[in-house]
């Protein structure tokens, strides 16, 4: 049974979300920490920290302690989790007791990476910790019947990685994970603007470009966007006009890698479950799935119905929180 003190944490590369049984999503903040390198103290965490990226003096640095879905800086991750759990506890109304925590891990993560996540959550003040694979959590959060013997296909496009999994009867039947996600798309936009226009733009600007005029579909109505950056020749601010066609071309390579991962997973599917996939289709979750035309493009490429989860950004967090009712079956499937 779920108690009031059970929470689910989606420890994402781009965002960290906390789900509580009674309150739903109680916290959703960027996975960013700003640190004073002289005093070694935390200046800001979450949204406040993200707004400071690229705008801080030399001694104050913005750190993203998670890379590709795993911990890159253990101490900073622990400090960030302490802040997040304290804030979430107040919102969920159980600031006195230590919560039981279910936290998601990338499928295919090593035992060392899993131990790092487990220890960071424990050091942040959790009582009991359970781990669940990210695609399984995404499937539960999207409302799929993961405990039934039918094929549930999930494509979770996160900030650091993309995970494609076929889930049946509480376990992962076939799975492919690649270290390409929203961050790689942003980086490719930055490189394109630098190469074509000799203009340097920041991460937040690249993310805005991706959300405004980034398209997965090749055939779409052309959109334009004015972007400000720094001219690398003169060093002065400069405004340029970008087209959605050139951004689609810049994102061609990472999108093809995502498509290859989806195809490879479907090829690994047992014959008995293939019929289910044709009938039930594929569910998209994660922030990257919100790119314009992603559903249509993927559906055209794999000839299978593709649809967006009801709350793609929150699916993993909701599934992580709801996973406790399946946890014994899921952990048995992971072994």
288 annotated to a ligand binding site: yes
Taking alpha carbons only, the member of 157, 153, 180 closest to residue 168 is 153
- Is the separation of the CB atoms in 37 and 60 below 8 Å? yes
Q: Is 290 annotated as a binding residue?
A: yes
Report the C-alpha gap between 334 and 326 in whole angstroms: 12
> Is 311 annotated in some ligand binding site?
no
**Given CA atoms 328, 319, 261, 65 in this order, what sign does their dihedral have?**
negative
Q: Is 252 annotated as a binding-site member?
A: no
41-49 long-range contacts, Cβ below 8 Å, gap at least 24?
A: 42/79, 42/83, 45/79, 45/80, 45/83, 45/84, 46/16, 46/83, 46/84
4 is in an annotated binding site: no
Q: What count of residues does the chain have?
A: 335
Query: Beta strands 129-133 and 100-105: pairing type?
Result: parallel
Known binding residue 207? Answer is yes
222 is in an annotated binding site: no
Query: Has 171 been labeled as part of a binding site?
Result: no
- Residue 90 in marked binding region: no
Residue 292 is assigned to a ligand binding site: no
d(CA 214, CA 207) in angstroms, rounded, equals 9
Edge to edge, the sheet with strand 33-36 lists: 41-45, 33-36, 60-63
Q: ∠ CA 115-118-120 to the nearest 5 degrees? A: 105
Alpha helices in the chain (DSSP H): 47-50, 74-92, 111-123, 134-141, 182-197, 203-213, 244-250, 252-267, 271-280, 294-302, 315-322, 327-334
Neighbours of 276 (CB within 10 A): 17
Question: Any binding-site annotation on 283?
Answer: no
Residue positions forming the annotated binding site for ATP: 13-15, 207-210, 287-290
Residue positions forming the annotated binding site: 13-15, 207-210, 287-290
């Amino acid at each position: 049974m779920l108690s009031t003190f059970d929470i689910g944490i989606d420890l994402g590369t781009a965002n960290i979300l906390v789900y509580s049984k009674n309150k739903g999503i109680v916290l959703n903040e960027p996975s960013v920490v700003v640190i004073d390198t002289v005093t070694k103290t935390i200046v800001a965490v979450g949204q406040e920290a993200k707004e400071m990226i690229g705008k801080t003096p030399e001694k104050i640095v913005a750190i993203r302690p998670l890379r590709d879905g795993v911990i890159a800086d253990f101490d900073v991750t622990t400090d960030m989790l302490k802040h997040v759990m304290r804030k979430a506890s107040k919102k969920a109304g159980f600031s006195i007791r230590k919560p039981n925590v279910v936290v998601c891990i990338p499928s295919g993560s090593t035992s060392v990476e899993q131990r790092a996540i487990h220890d960071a959550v424990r050091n942040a003040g959790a009582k009991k910790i359970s781990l669940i694979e990210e695609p399984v959590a995404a499937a539960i959060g999207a409302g799929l019947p993961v405990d039934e013997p039918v094929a549930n296909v999930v494509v979770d496009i996160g900030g650091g990685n993309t995970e494609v999994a076929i889930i049946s009867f509480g376990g992962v039947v076939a799975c492919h994970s690649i270290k390409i996600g929203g961050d790689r798309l942003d980086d490719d936009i930055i490189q394109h603007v630098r190469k074509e226009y000799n203009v340097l733009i920041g991460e937040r600007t690249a993310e805005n470009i991706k959300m405004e005029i980034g398209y997965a579909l090749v055939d779409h109505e052309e959109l334009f966007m004015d972007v400000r950056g720094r001219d690398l020749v003169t060093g002065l601010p400069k405004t340029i006009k970008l087209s959605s066609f050139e951004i689609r071309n810049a994102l061609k390579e990472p999108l093809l890698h995502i498509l290859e991962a989806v195809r490879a997973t479907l090829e690994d599917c047992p014959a008995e479950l293939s019929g289910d996939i044709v009938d039930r289709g594929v569910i998209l979750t994660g922030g990257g799935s919100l790119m314009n035309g992603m559903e249509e493009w993927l559906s055209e490429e794999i000839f299978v119905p593709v649809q967006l989860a009801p709350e793609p950004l929150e699916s993993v967090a909701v599934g992580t929180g709801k996973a406790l009712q399946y946890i014994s079956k899921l952990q048995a499937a992971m072994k």
